[in-house]
Amino acid sequence: MSKSNVFMIMPFEDAFFEAYEMLKERFADNFEFCHAGDDVNTQQNVLKDIVQMICNADVIIADLTNLNSNVFYELGGCSHS
Protein backbone atom coordinates (compact mmCIF):
# COMPACT_ATOMS: atom_id res chain seq x y z
CA MET A 1 0.00 0.00 0.00
CA SER A 2 1.41 3.41 -0.94
CA LYS A 3 1.78 6.23 1.51
CA SER A 4 -0.53 9.25 1.41
CA ASN A 5 1.13 12.56 0.53
CA VAL A 6 1.00 15.32 3.13
CA PHE A 7 1.83 18.92 2.22
CA MET A 8 2.68 21.05 5.23
CA ILE A 9 2.14 24.80 4.99
CA MET A 10 4.09 26.68 7.65
CA PRO A 11 6.30 29.71 8.26
CA PHE A 12 10.04 29.28 7.63
CA GLU A 13 11.13 29.48 11.26
CA ASP A 14 13.04 26.95 13.37
CA ALA A 15 10.15 26.23 15.76
CA PHE A 16 7.92 25.26 12.84
CA PHE A 17 10.58 23.06 11.27
CA GLU A 18 10.87 21.23 14.60
CA ALA A 19 7.12 20.55 14.59
CA TYR A 20 7.30 19.47 10.94
CA GLU A 21 10.13 17.02 11.66
CA MET A 22 8.26 15.63 14.68
CA LEU A 23 5.11 15.00 12.61
CA LYS A 24 7.17 13.57 9.75
CA GLU A 25 8.91 11.09 12.07
CA ARG A 26 5.76 10.18 14.01
CA PHE A 27 3.67 9.38 10.93
CA ALA A 28 6.41 8.12 8.59
CA ASP A 29 4.86 4.67 8.31
CA ASN A 30 1.69 5.95 6.64
CA PHE A 31 2.47 9.37 5.20
CA GLU A 32 5.07 11.03 2.97
CA PHE A 33 5.58 14.64 4.12
CA CYS A 34 6.75 17.66 2.12
CA HIS A 35 6.71 21.45 2.48
CA ALA A 36 7.46 24.45 0.28
CA GLY A 37 11.21 24.23 0.96
CA ASP A 38 11.51 20.59 -0.12
CA ASP A 39 12.84 19.70 -3.54
CA VAL A 40 12.36 23.13 -5.06
CA ASN A 41 14.02 23.00 -8.48
CA THR A 42 14.98 26.65 -8.94
CA GLN A 43 14.09 30.01 -7.48
CA GLN A 44 12.15 30.85 -10.65
CA ASN A 45 9.88 27.81 -10.21
CA VAL A 46 9.07 28.06 -6.49
CA LEU A 47 5.40 28.90 -7.02
CA LYS A 48 5.03 26.22 -9.70
CA ASP A 49 6.63 23.66 -7.36
CA ILE A 50 4.34 24.66 -4.48
CA VAL A 51 1.24 24.37 -6.67
CA GLN A 52 2.41 20.94 -7.85
CA MET A 53 2.95 19.75 -4.26
CA ILE A 54 -0.52 21.03 -3.30
CA CYS A 55 -2.10 19.23 -6.27
CA ASN A 56 -0.30 15.98 -5.39
CA ALA A 57 -1.24 16.14 -1.70
CA ASP A 58 -3.82 13.81 -0.20
CA VAL A 59 -3.69 15.79 3.06
CA ILE A 60 -2.77 19.44 3.65
CA ILE A 61 -1.80 20.71 7.10
CA ALA A 62 -1.54 24.48 7.57
CA ASP A 63 -0.05 26.03 10.70
CA LEU A 64 -1.79 29.39 11.08
CA THR A 65 0.20 30.39 14.16
CA ASN A 66 1.33 34.03 13.95
CA LEU A 67 -1.03 34.62 10.97
CA ASN A 68 1.86 34.43 8.48
CA SER A 69 0.85 35.95 5.12
CA ASN A 70 2.80 33.40 3.06
CA VAL A 71 0.98 30.56 4.82
CA PHE A 72 -2.38 32.17 3.99
CA TYR A 73 -1.28 32.65 0.37
CA GLU A 74 -0.37 28.97 -0.01
CA LEU A 75 -3.53 27.92 1.81
CA GLY A 76 -5.59 30.04 -0.57
CA GLY A 77 -3.93 28.23 -3.46
CA CYS A 78 -5.26 24.95 -2.09
CA SER A 79 -8.83 25.98 -2.83
CA HIS A 80 -7.97 26.73 -6.46
CA SER A 81 -5.89 23.64 -7.22
**Within 13 Å, how many C-alpha atoms sit on residue 74's CB side?**
29
- Give the three-state DSSP class for 9: strand
Full residue range of the structural domain in which residue 51 is found: 4-78
> For the chain, how many structural domains are there in total?
1
For residue 72, the domain's CATH number is: 3.40.50.450
pLDDT for position 44? 63
Q: pLDDT digit string (tens) for 21-78?
A: 999 999 999 999 988 776 555 566 778 888 888 899 999 999 999 899 989 988 887 7
- Secondary structure of 21-63 in the HEC alphabet? HHHHHHCCCCEEEEECCCCCCCHHHHHHHHHHHHHHCCEEEEC
pTM of whole model > 0.85? Answer: no
